[in-house]
Chain A
């Protein structure tokens, strides 16, 4: 069953049109990757889904049309966003950042245990618990952004370059955690990545975007063996 369905999505920043009728589907429980070069419109696609840019077209989430809804209402349906640039609350502590992630949840007890769970996933964040988040390293802030999104207990996670600024070893660890969360808690994920090889390893399904349109789609294995994808995005 489709959790997210996007039809004919157009988006523009002022006069500059970025998306020209994008179509894609994300299956319930899947990890779907959006691949593409810089400027293809990947980040804009994620922003469009949570109403951070002006759009036209249809977006259905969990059987409900959301393209006219406000960002905070879409989030309240269970769509968490790890934004481009990490979106850290720089002047608040690490723990406060995480608590804000669970702000709209009503089940306060599970929020507490989820907080501990995040510290379990990322022990560095526990060490930095009372520290101002602005003083965290780029990699630590990236972990914080992912954990903050998870604190929502989302149905769908939008991940914009989660590997950005992380050391290769940490990227592998992070992707391992994301896979575990996807399998154990059935959180669906829409992943935007520059690192196509890693993205295709994690994702079940992928769409290739060029200048605001989907040009190719298929299972990750299909795309991995596609000659043009291999040459242009995987580099071998």
Chain B
């Protein structure tokens, strides 16, 4: 029982990370109706930036904040330079660009930093805080995730800029007619998604270690989370993230760690087969 509880709590910690990354996916999906396959690699690059800053002697938290800022700018620049030119291209073309971005980010990082696995520091103390159930890093990661999610909620729900971004994602034509610069709202969305991804990367790196392929499995779980919640529902992505995290850990505990990643795939296929709109997404009905 104790071991089981430990798995659930650890699941919540990784679940928070999946939730953040799933939210980043949903943010870009809502604005462009496309899934950004490079989201994980962008987070990985951010984590390497943080690693470089910390290795250069910067204390953890300033490095953390600076990384989030740099990642935001990186997201905006990627949208402006790489995504904008293919804005009106066919879906398959854009998907190819996303995958190219994934491969480029992955190999450039490998080229600069090598593929050797590096350890990444946690800002939280080493000794166990919650007795045997949870490490301080897991508890801290959940805390940070919740702060990020709350900040995003407040931003989108209560600020004029957040409102404009939601409007631009839903109805670009009407948004232009009230003077919103829709192109910049999209770029801002990419920036925010990259910043959220950066936090997820820095929180997961102490657990999975730092290497250019670190986000592969995690992005798969984030996809599963976004699909379980419904790819167009931010709230669903968050709930989906925590659900997938717990399921993954508990099932891994029951059926063995080797099959963990399959859980994500089974979830993805299961949701797509039986409930394509996810549990919180909108069902789209089209008249023909």
A→B interface (CB under 8 Å)? 50, 52, 70-72, 75-76, 80-81, 83, 87-92, 96, 99-101, 103-104, 148, 152
Contact = CB atoms under 8 A, between A and B. Distances in A.
B177 A81 contact: yes
Interface stretch (B48-56, B134-142, B162-170, B189-197): B162-170
16 contacts: A52-B173, A72-B176, A72-B180, A75-B178, A76-B179, A81-B177, A83-B174, A89-B167, A89-B171, A90-B170, A91-B166, A91-B170, A96-B163, A101-B178, A104-B178, A152-B178
Given A87-B171, A88-B174, A89-B170, A72 B179 contact: yes
B163 A99 contact: yes
Contacts of A91: 166, 170
Residue of A90, A99, A103 with most partner-chain B CB within 10 A: A103
Nearest to B174: A87
A-B complex: 7 closest residue pairs judged by Cβ atoms:
A104-B179, A87-B174, A75-B179, A71-B176, A81-B177, A100-B178, A76-B179
Residue of B163, B166, B174 with most partner-chain A CB within 10 A: B174
B256 interface: no
Nearest to A70: B176
Nearest to A96: B163
Given A76-B179, A81-B177, A96-B163, 9 more contacts: A70-B176, A71-B176, A72-B176, A72-B180, A92-B167, A96-B167, A99-B160, A103-B180, A148-B178
B178 A103 contact: yes
B159 to A, nearest CB: 11
A103 B174 contact: no
Contacts of B173: 52, 83, 87
Given A88-B174, A91-B170, A152 B163 contact: no
Q: Is the interface of A mostly helix, strand, loop or mixed?
A: loop
B285 to A, nearest CB: 14
A76 B164 CA distance: 15
A92 B178 contact: no
Residue of B176, B177, B180 with most partner-chain A CB within 10 A: B177
A96 B176 CA distance: 16
Given A75-B178, A76-B179, A87-B177, A100 B164 contact: yes
Contacts of B181: 72
Contact of B180 (A87, A90, A92, A100): A100
Residue of B164, B173, B175, B178 with most partner-chain A CB within 10 A: B178
B182 interface: yes
A92 B160 contact: no
A124 to B, nearest CB: 20
A71 B173 CA distance: 9
Contacts of A83: 173-174, 177
A100 B176 contact: no
B187 to A, nearest CB: 14
Nearest to B282: A91
